[in-house]
Amino acid sequence: MIFLTSSLLVLLAGAVLAVLLARHGRAGLMVSLVAMVLGSAGYVAAAVGRWIDTAAPPQRLIWPLPLGAPTLTIDYLSAWFLLTLGLLSAVVAVYSWSYFSVETRSTRATASVGAVLCLLVASMGVLLCAGDVILFLVGWEMTSLAAFFLVGFHDEDPAARHGAWTYLIATHLSSALFLVPMFALLVAVGGWSFAGIGAALGVQDSTVRVLIFALGLAGFGVKAGFMPVHVWLPLAHPVAPTPVSALLSGVVVKIGIYGLLRLLMLLGPLPGSCGTAMIVLGAVSGVLGVLYALAQHDIKRLLAYHTVENIGIIGIGIGVGMLGQTTGHPLVALLGYSGALLHVLNHALFKGLLFLSAGAVIHATGTGQIDRLGGLAKKTPLNALLFLLAAVAICGLPPLNGFISEWLIYGGLLGGTIRLPRALPGVAVVGLAGLALMGGLALACFAKVFSVVFLGSPREALTAHATPRLMLGSMSALAVLCLLIGLAPSVATDLIAPGAAAFVVTPYSTSAASTFDAILAPAGHLSALLALLLALVIILLLVRHLMIRGQIVITAASGRAGTWGCGYPALTPRIQYTASSFAWSLIRSFRRLLWPHKHLVVPAGAFPSGDIRAELSTHTNDIAQTDIFSPFFKGAAQLAAMIRTVSLSGHVPTHADAAIGEDRGPFRTGWYSLLSAVRRGSIQVCVVYVAATLVLVFMVETAWQPRSGGALVERTAPAISMSADPSQPTARPTATRGADELNHVLPGATRP
C-alpha cells in the first residue's frame, strides 16, 4: 500500500509544480511528465505487491465529514486495472515529451497539460482503489473533469470544444440519471462501504439486484462506450491530443468496465436474462463499431470506433462469465471473466500503440485524413512496422496478445453451447457469430488503413519528417509487451486467475485450473508456431535482399525496369485505391444498417470536357447520433429557448423546421415517412397498424398466461355435472374440482 500512497503524492506534487512553473513551459512539462512516470511505476509496483502479499490490509484515510473513514484497498480486480493504468500511463508520459515539447501554443498551456495529465492518472488510481462509495464518486468526477480539459486542449478549434462538452455532458447525464440512483440504492441497502454493501446484497431479492444492475449497466456503459451511448467517443478522440486519445481509449473507457465488474462482484449471481442482455449488447456494439470504423476517413475517428468494437468484445466476455456464474458452471464463468480481464490489458496495449503510431503520422505530415496519405512506409519504416504489429493484434491474429484474450472468450462461448441449459446455448451462438464477424471486418478495416496510409505512392505532396526517437522508443515498449503476452500467455493468465475466480460461486479448484490451462495451451503453441514462421519469412527476405543488392536490371532500351502497370502507360497516384473505394463494397453490403451516402460525378458524353473531373465521395452518419441524440438535444435547446423567450418577452418564438436539409438515419426517415403516410390516409399503413396491434396483443396475452411446470395451463370453467341423487326433486349442477379438473389439465390422470 505504500507504493499506492507514494504514487498519489508524487502525481499531486507533479501537478502543483507544473502549475508553479507555468511561465517556463518546457520545465513545467518535464517535471509533470517525470512525476507521471514515477507515479505510474508506483502503480505497477502496488499491483505486483498485491499478488506477492495476499494479506495486505486496507488503508484508511482521515475524512472530516460524518460519512465514515474512506478506505483505499487493493484486491485482485483493482490490481489488474492498476497494472493496466500504470503500464500505459508510463509509456504515454515518455511519448508526450516529444509530442508536446514542439507544441505551438503558449508556454502556460504546455505546462498545464502536464499538470492535468497527472491529475487524470491520480484520480483514476483513487477510483480503482476506492473501498467506499464516497471515494469512488470523488475519483469518478475528478477523472471526468480532467479528461474534459484534456480533450478541449485545442480550445481555439470549435470541433475540440464540441467534443469536450459532449464528453462532459454525456458523463454527467449518466451519473445523474443512473449512477446516483444506483449508489443511493446500494447505500440504503448496505451503507457506504463496499464490503458492507456486498454482504447486505446477498440477502436481497433478485428484483432489487436486477434493477441495480440495469442502472449500473446504463451509467457505466456511457463511460465504457457501449452502443448506442457511445456518441462522445468519435467526437472526442479526433480532436484530443494524441497522448490523451491513447489514455482515453486505453484506460479511461476501462473505468466504466471496472465499475461494472465491481458492481457484479457485489451483486453476485444474477438471472440468466442479465447475462443474455450483456452478450447481445456486446455483440451489437462490436459489430456496429467495426462497421462504422470501415466507413471513416479520419484515422483517429476510425480508431475511436474500434474502441467501441473492443468494448463489445469485453462485454461478450463479461456476459459469458455471468451466464456461467448463474448456471453454476465455474469453467464457463472462469473463461468468460478471464478473457474479458485479459482483453482489458491487451486492448490498452495495442490500441495505445495504434493511437500513438497514428499520432506520429499526424505529427510527421500534419493531417490525419487517410485519403491524403500514402507511401509513408518508405519515410517512416519503423513506425509502419509498429502500426502493422498493433493492427495484427487488434484483429485477434497470432502470435500477438489480442489472439489470446479472444481465444479465452471463444472457449467460454463454445463451452457455453455445450454446458449451459435451456435456451442459453443459443445466446452463446449469437456471441460466437458476432465475435467471428468482428474479426473478419476488423481485418478488412486495417488492411484498408495500412495499405492506403503506408503503402503505395504519396497521394499529395506532403512533407513527412522522421519519427522522434522518444516516440519510437515508447511505442516499441508497447509492441514488445504485445509480443510477450502473445508468446507467453500463461504469465498473464496466472495473474488474472485469482481475480476472475472471485466472480465464481464454486471455489477455484485445482481441476478447474488444470482444465483452464489445457484450453489455453493450444493458443500458446499456435502463437509460437506462427512466430517461427514469421521469423523464417524475415530471414528469407533478408537473404534475398543481400543477394540482389547492387544488381540492376536493364531493359532492351537501356533503361531501368519498372513495375508493370497493368497496361497503363503513365502511372499516377490518382489510380491507386482510396480508403473510400477500398471499403465501399463492404459498406454497401451493410447499407441497410449503415445508410451510407454516396456522391458521384461522372463525365458525360463520348468526349467529355477536360473541365469536368470524375469524383466519388462517401459519407456514413452515426445513426445513434443523427436519430437519437441530436434530435433530443435540439428539442431540449428549442424548449429552453422557448421558455427563456417567453419569460423575457411574453410571446412564443417561431422556430424553423430543424429537420430540413439535415442528415437522417433509418429510424427518423422511417418515422417521417410513416407520419406522412398517415396524414395522406394510406390504406396500406392502416392495415399494417392493425396487423401490428394484433400481433402485439397476442404476444402480451401469451406472456401473461400462467405456466405450471413449463406447460401452459388453460383457463377453464369448473366442470359441471348433474347430480343423480333421487332424494333431490330436481337435478342441480355441482362443481367437481377434483380428479375431473386434474384430468382436464394434466391428461393421463385417473379418476379416484
* DSSP codes joined into one string, 692-720: HHHHHHHHHHHHHS-EETTEEPP--PPEE
Mean pLDDT, rounded, for 657-681: 58
Grid cell 367437481 in the structure block, residue: 736
Residue 126 in contact with residue 139, Cβ under 8 Å? yes
Residues 59-65: what's their mean pLDDT?
A: 61
pLDDT computed for residue 83 by the predictor: 94
pLDDT of residue 447: 92
CB 317 within 8 A of CB 336: yes
Does residue 172 sit in helix, strand or coil? helix
528-554 confidence digits (pLDDT tens): 888 888 889 889 988 887 887 766 554
Residue 300 · residue 159 · CB < 8 Å: no
Residue with cell 484508511: 60
Least confident range from 163-172, 292-301, 697-706: namely 697-706
Q: What's the mean pLDDT when you consider all of the chain?
A: 80
- The pLDDT score that the predictor gives to residue 510 is 60
Which range among 59-63, 189-193, 369-373 shows the weakest confidence by mean pLDDT? Answer: 59-63
**Residue 465 CA to its chain's centroid (Å):** 33
Burial bucket for residue 583 (CB in 10 Å: 0-12, 13-18, 19+): buried
Output the nine-digit C-alpha cell for 728: 333431490
Q: Each residue of 580-619: pLDDT tens digit?
A: 778 888 888 887 777 777 777 777 767 666 666 677 777 7
Helix (H, G, I), strand (E, B) or coil at 164: helix
Name residue 673's amino acid. S
- CA-CA-CA-CA torsion for 358, 362, 363, 367, nearest 10 degrees? 180
* Residue from 310, 299, 473, 465 nearest 373 by CA: 299
Cα gap 616→620, rounded to integer Å: 14
pLDDT value at residue 738: 41
C-alpha cell belonging to residue 125: 488510481
- Check pLDDT > 70 for residue 723: no
| Residue 321, beta-bridge partner list | none
d(CA 245, CA 52) in angstroms, rounded, equals 33
Say which residue the cell 475517428 belongs to.
301
> Is the model's pLDDT at 231 over the cut of 70?
yes
| Residue 182 near residue 216, CB atoms below 8 Å | yes
Least confident among 373-377, 448-452, 559-563, 694-698: 559-563
Residue 454 grid coordinates? 503506408
> Is it the case that residue 557 has pLDDT exceeding 60?
no
Cβ within 8 Å of residue 29, ≥6 positions away: 18, 96, 97, 100, 101, 110, 111, 113, 114
What does the pLDDT look like over 411-433, one tens digit per residue? 989 888 887 777 788 888 889 99
How far is 214 from 206, CA to CA, in rounded Å? Answer: 12
CA pair distance 247, 244, nearest whole angstrom:
5
- Residue 445: pLDDT band (50, 70, 90) is very high
pLDDT tens digits, residue range 478-516?
Answer: 999 999 999 888 888 888 888 888 887 655 556 666 777
**What whole-number distance in Å separates Cα of residue 595 and Cα of residue 345?**
34
Cell numbers found for residue 208: 432489487
The C-alpha atoms of residue 219 and residue 178 are separated, in whole angstroms, by 5
The per-residue pLDDT for range 235-270, each reduced to its tens digit, is 998 899 999 999 999 999 999 999 999 999 988 888
What percentage of residues in the chain have a pLDDT greater than 70? 79
Give the pTM: 0.82
Is residue 123 predicted with pLDDT exceeding 90?
yes
**Given CA atoms 552, 558, 559, 563 in this order, what sign does their dihedral have?**
negative
Q: Is the pLDDT of residue 710 over 80?
A: no
**Whether the Cβ atoms of residue 365 and residue 458 lie closer than 8 Å to each other:** no
> What integer pLDDT is reported at residue 57 of this predicted model?
64
In the predicted model, is pLDDT for residue 647 greater than 90? no
Cα 388 to Cα 11, 295, 523, distances in angstroms = 34, 20, 21
Q: Distance between CA 293 and CA 109 in Å, rounded?
A: 32
Instruction: Please report, as a single letter, which amino acid is at residue 407.
Output: W
Tell me the C-alpha distance between 132 and 60, whole Å: 11
DSSP output for 626-683:
IIIIHHHHHHHHHHHHHHHHHHHHSSPPP---TTTTS---HHHHHHHHHHHHHHHT-H
pLDDT for res 651 = 52
328 vs 405, higher pLDDT: 405
Q: Which residue has the higher pLDDT, 435 or 21?
A: 435
Cis before 228 (ω within 30): yes
pLDDT of residue 669: 63
Give residue 724's pLDDT band: very low, low, confident or very high (50, 70, 90): very low
Q: What band does 389 get if pLDDT is binned at 50, 70 and 90?
A: very high
Mean pLDDT of 226-238: 89
Mean pLDDT of 177-194: 88
Q: Is 567 left (phi over 0), alpha (psi -120 to 50) or beta?
A: left
Q: What is the pLDDT of residue 655?
A: 44
Task: Determine the Cα–Cα distance for residues 285 and 277; give it in Å rounded to an integer.
Answer: 12
Which amino acid, one-letter code, is at 484? L
Q: Give the whole-number percent of the chain exceeding pLDDT 90.
A: 33
Q: What is the pLDDT of residue 385?
A: 93
DSSP strand pairing (707-708 vs 711-712): antiparallel
pLDDT exceeds 50 at position 694 = yes
pLDDT, mean of residues 397-424: 87
Q: Which H/E stretch holds residue 237? A: none
C-alpha cell at 613: 473531373
Residue 117 has pLDDT above 90, yes or no: yes
Select from 139, 185, 291, 186 the least CA-distant residue to 230. 291
Q: In 3D, which of 113, 148, 122, 299 has the Cα closest to residue 223?
A: 148
- Which residue ranges make up each domain of the chain? 1-268, 270-484, 600-664, 671-705
* Residue 283 in this model has a pLDDT that exceeds 80: yes
